[in-house]
Amino acid sequence: MNDLDEVRRIMAPADPCPPGAFDGAAHDPAGRAAYERITASEARRSGPSRRTTFRLVAAGGVAGALIAGAAVATGGSGEQPAPVAATETQRVLNVAATFALKQPFTAPRPGQWVYTETRYRRSGAPGRGQVVRPGSPLKTQVDRNWVRADGRRMALYDHGKLVTSATGGGMPPIDYATVAKLPIDPDGMLAWARAQETPNEPNGGAFQLLGSLLLNNGALPPAQTAAAYRAMAKIPGVTVDRAAKDGAGHKAISVSFLIEGWAKDEILLHPSTYAYQGHRTTVAKDHTMPDGGRFLTGAVESYSVRLAAGVVDRPGQRP
């Protein structure tokens, strides 16, 4: 029996997504036992010129690896490095990516339209002498827009009238024809995000751009969605809070980055399905704007909730 057959045999009983956990077989008793048996058998092997590397993935590639990102290797000396445990941020975003890849998806035809409906609540930027503090009123706006899949036209309501126009480009892209060509590997996606011009430093700019890509595209292909999540996991400073709540008080997983040292920018994921739910920006440290307006710690700058998204045949139509 070769090494790959042995891994498959030992991993067969492991539940890659056991009840109550979504982090893969590392949280399943059979999975842990399999890992210990595999690494123990490796340690007993000898052979000065032999070097073998395993990447232990649960059957079918579900929910990451046995130990996400860990490699088991032996060298000529018989010594092996300890497995590198994934961080909480990597575990959460890798699971979100895996869930995204498992969702059914049908690409829109070039003449179809992608509809996205989002509710925004914003404090607005405070002017001179104004202060935004916890509990300050927020203005609510619901955006409904249609973008043709080929990227040539978009439509929205203006004072109750449906108006169509050219898309006009913009970053991140919001048309299927463009986003379907984005990288599908995390390194490529992160390199793309960092290559775009943003008002923030590279890590913060990349995090916000990837979050905006998820927010503004109602038909982002699963491969690009997964790449965006896994690219975020590679950004230093990204953190996760599994006990967060969204603007309506519902449980959510928060994935966040501190922008410019004071604004906590978050994407919010469903606690069970890991589906994208929206974004939120809160004030983590008192901040004074260039014109003298102030944000106080704990204030909400803005948040959004994805209300609906889907593919339709004409502007004005809803899924």
Distances in whole angstroms, Cα of residue 130 to Cα of each of 125, 135, 137, 141, 286: 9, 14, 13, 22, 13
Residue 92 has pLDDT above 90, yes or no: yes
Over residues 214-243, the mean pLDDT reads 96
Over residues 89-103, the mean pLDDT reads 96
Q: What is the pLDDT of residues 155-177, one digit of tens each?
A: 999 989 999 998 877 889 999 99
pLDDT interval class at 85 (50, 70, 90): low
SS3 of 48-110: CCCCEEECCECHHHCCCECCCCCCEEECCCCCCCCCCCCCHHHHHHHHHHHHHHCCCCCCCCC
Give the three-class secondary structure for 91.
helix
Over residues 18-34, the mean pLDDT reads 40
- Residues 6+ away with beta carbon under 8 Å from 280: 246, 247, 254, 265, 266, 268, 300, 302, 303, 304
Least confident of 182-191, 211-220, 240-249: 240-249
E-strand stretches of 90-228:
113-122, 131-132, 139-148, 154-158, 161-165
Least confident of 78-87, 124-133, 167-176, 197-206: 78-87
Query: Among residues 147, 93, 166, 96, which one has the least CA distance to residue 309?
Result: 147
Q: What is the pLDDT of residues 40-73, one digit of tens each?
A: 433 333 333 322 222 222 223 333 322 233 333 3
pLDDT of residue 198: 81
pLDDT of residue 81: 58
Over residues 125-137, the mean pLDDT reads 94
How far apart CA 127 and CA 125 sit, in angstroms, is: 6
pLDDT of residue 249: 83
pTM: 0.72
pLDDT of residue 83: 56
**Strands 113-122, 52-54: parallel, antiparallel or unpaired by DSSP?**
unpaired
Query: Among residues 118, 203, 214, which one has the least CA distance to residue 172?
Result: 214
- Residues 6+ away with beta carbon under 8 Å from 24: 16, 17, 31, 58, 62, 63, 64, 65, 66, 68, 95
Q: What is the pLDDT of residues 243-293, one digit of tens each?
A: 998 877 889 999 999 999 999 999 999 999 999 999 999 999 999 999 999
Helix then strand then coil, in percent of the chain rounded to 5, is 25, 30, 45
Tokens of 284: 């983590």
Residue 12 has pLDDT above 70, yes or no: no
In this structure, is the dihedral angle defined by the CA atoms of residues 61, 62, 68 and 69, taken in order, positive or negative? Answer: positive
Mean pLDDT of the chain: 79
CA 177 centroid distance within chain: 21
pLDDT of residue 3: 41
